[in-house]
Amino acid sequence: MKNSPLDTNKHFISWPVVALMDFVTVIGFDDLIYNFHNQGLAIVTTWIIMLLLFVWPYEMMVGQLGSAFQNEGGGLSSWIRSTNGDLAGYMVAFLYWIAGLPYVVDVANSVVVSISWLVKGNGDLNKYMSTFMFAIFTAIIFLGFIWFQHLFKNKSLEIMSTIGGGAMFVMTILFVLMTVGALIHGRHIETQPFNLGAFIPKINGHFLSTFGLLIFAINGAELAGPYVKQMKHGNRDFPKAMMMLLIMTGFLTVFGSFSLGVFFNAHHLPYDLKMNGSYYAFQALGKQFGMGNVLMYIFAVAQFIYMCAQLAVILDASTRIFISNVSKKYLSKRITKLNDDGLPINGYWLTTAIVSLVLFLSNWLPSINDMFNWLLNINGIVSPFVTSFVFYAFMRIRAKSKDYPSEYRFIKNDKFAWLVGLWCLIITLVFSVMGIRPTDATPGTVLYTKELTLNIVIPIIFIALSAVLPYMAKIGREHLAKQAWLSTPLALIVFVIIGFFLAQHLTNAGIAISILCWALNVVLFIIVYQIVFKLITRNHSVND
């Protein structure tokens, strides 16, 4: 990334800014709402356990990896490539990139929801918007950020992340402090009974299926990896950023979740809590202090900035992780090319194509709230699976610690550190599989069947697509280096359109027909890819 505006000797990113940039991608007030909806007040206990047994070692491992590979620009993909070779680096980079795309869609959805609250004063999108229009507005938001990345360049990520991350952290502190003030002034606690038993998790299938979303809520620390080399003393200061991130995450999760139990009855939660719960919370807090909807609107503005910052950081960092340190034999030159501002603009457009696929397939579900919940929950499957590679990379460098020196070492004893890495690796893989079970639908219903189908098929499609880009690069080298890249995005667009209309037509179909529908989509994608490529290359030939 020599041409990147972040790669300059005149400007360094300080570790507090890196922490805030990472905080934007790791945790937010909405993450508290999602998991409070899944586990109620018991989530407070679960968060404490997770912080001690997972979050702390996870973020400290990222700290050591960043310190050990301070001169690498690809983050997780660089770490895996350095320890396991080019092919492993490509696969991890691809999986990490594509696994984050459902969340990119979810973030763009949240921007639309925040606009609804700012303009309409509510989040009841189903009353004035169809699922198709919701998908269109989300797509417009996403495309807008492709333009934003090009227009503002340079320090836009730092500025937006600092403002967004700082604003969200301040709003959370405000919510906690005002909740304490409300209790002091006699506020009635909505969750009853509010006793020790309410904080004890109930171990069952539903509880276990929600852990993937918990891991998803706090992962993303490795997204700061590409920015280590932009710090003046990355090997020393990056671990400080991770520690700051850990403290902020701990405060937000524990105290924020506790405060939610004051304003919401954990036993009878609104159906749309995951989509609108944050706004309901600040609306209730404002009414408690006689401020009407003022706090809700302040939060809506903070949420809008925060989600926009998240979208910008994820779009930039995940795309850079994908293309910056992947062996060029797996990607065409067109995709890895940087524009005059040092931005991987073609990588952004490829991201857009995949996001469109996920977005319009989610339109198969019956309501906007169902779309929102499913897009959120599928992250609990794909995200922990990819995060497991962080622990694998850590295990590799601790197994050969002399070959990978670093100024910061998490746990001095190599064998014990390796076992802690193995513990985190097993946890992420197990809960990734358990997340396949839909958490917001009743077994036996049409909604449950549709969500289960998508939860199985979407990851399979993601893995299958990992073979497309190397194939495209190979053909490009052999036949048409400059034009071959066009065939995949065009085929993806056709694939998305066909998938959307088939999904609309088969809305009430059974699971067998649904699976056949997606299988047909895959076949059509391959056919369209081949036809388009042959049409483009028939009368052309260039040397790579």
Alpha carbon distance 166, 306 (integer Å): 9
What pLDDT digit, counting tens, does each position of 471-513 carry? 766 666 555 444 444 444 445 555 555 555 555 444 444 445 5
Alpha carbon distance 47, 56 (integer Å): 12
Q: Judge if pTM exceeds 0.95.
A: no
Two tokens, residue 263:
């304003």
Q: Which of 345, 321, 326, 320 minimizes the C-alpha distance to 335? A: 345
The whole-number average pLDDT for the span 190-201 is: 85
Alpha carbon distance 288, 527 (integer Å): 60
Residues with Cβ < 8 Å from 519, sequence gap 6 or more?
none
**Residue 529 — very low, low, confident or very high, per pLDDT cuts 50/70/90?**
very low
Please give the residue that has the higher pLDDT: either 157 or 29: 29
**Residue 339 backbone zone (phi > 0: left; psi -120 to 50: alpha; other: beta):** beta
Q: What is the widest separation between alpha-carbon atoms in the chain?
A: 79
CB 123 within 8 A of CB 116: yes
**Residue 341 — very low, low, confident or very high, per pLDDT cuts 50/70/90?**
low
Looking at residue 107, what is its pLDDT? Answer: 81
- Please state which of the ranges 2-16, 119-133, 202-216, 378-392 shows the lowest mean pLDDT: 2-16
Output the CA angle 412-414-415, nearest 5 degrees. Answer: 130
The number of beta carbons lying within 10 Å of the beta carbon of residue 420 is 22
**Residue 251 backbone zone (phi > 0: left; psi -120 to 50: alpha; other: beta):** alpha
Alpha carbon distance 271, 300 (integer Å): 20
The helix or strand, by DSSP H or E, that contains position 226, with its residue range, turns out to be none
Output the CA–CA distances (angstroms, integers) from residue 74 to 58, 318, 445, in the order listed.
19, 9, 43
Two tokens, residue 2:
């020599």
Q: Which of 464, 451, 437 minimizes the C-alpha distance to 514? A: 451
Please give the residue that has the higher pLDDT: either 472 or 170: 170
Query: If 0-12 CB within 10 Å is exposed, 13-18 middle and 19+ buried, where does residue 197 land?
Result: exposed
Q: Which of 22, 78, 82, 81 minimizes the C-alpha distance to 55? A: 22
Query: If 0-12 CB within 10 Å is exposed, 13-18 middle and 19+ buried, where does residue 385 land?
Result: buried
Rg, the chain, Cα only: 23
**Residue 321 — very low, low, confident or very high, per pLDDT cuts 50/70/90?**
low
Q: Which of 321, 312, 116 minimizes the C-alpha distance to 222? A: 321
Two tokens, residue 129:
């918007």
Looking at residue 484, what is its pLDDT? Answer: 44
Two tokens, residue 544:
């790579």
| Helices and strands (DSSP H and E) totals, the chain | 23, 0
Q: Which of 240, 237, 245 minimizes the C-alpha distance to 220? A: 245
Residue 166 has pLDDT above 60, yes or no: yes
Looking at residue 372, what is its pLDDT? Answer: 81
Residues with Cβ < 8 Å from 447, sequence gap 6 or more?
365, 366, 370, 438, 441
Q: How far is CA 9 from the centre of its chain?
A: 31
The number of beta carbons lying within 10 Å of the beta carbon of residue 452 is 17
Q: What percentage of the chain carries pLDDT values higher than 70?
A: 72
Alpha carbon distance 482, 485 (integer Å): 7
Looking at residue 76, what is its pLDDT? Answer: 76
Please give the residue that has the higher pLDDT: either 110 or 416: 416
Helix axes 234-263, 273-288, angle to 10 degrees: 70
The whole-number average pLDDT for the span 134-162 is: 68
Q: Which of 400, 380, 353 minimizes the C-alpha distance to 143? A: 353
Looking at residue 537, what is its pLDDT? Answer: 42
What pLDDT digit, counting tens, does each position of 438-470 carry? 887 888 888 888 888 888 877 777 777 777 777
Please give the residue that has the higher pLDDT: either 323 or 260: 260
What pLDDT digit, counting tens, does each position of 12-61 carry? 778 888 787 777 667 777 888 888 888 888 899 998 888 888 888 888 88
The whole-number average pLDDT for the span 189-201 is: 85
CB 368 within 8 A of CB 126: yes
The gap between the terminal CA atoms of the chain, to the nearest Å, is 21
Looking at residue 394, what is its pLDDT? Answer: 92
Alpha carbon distance 28, 440 (integer Å): 21
Two tokens, residue 89:
């680096």
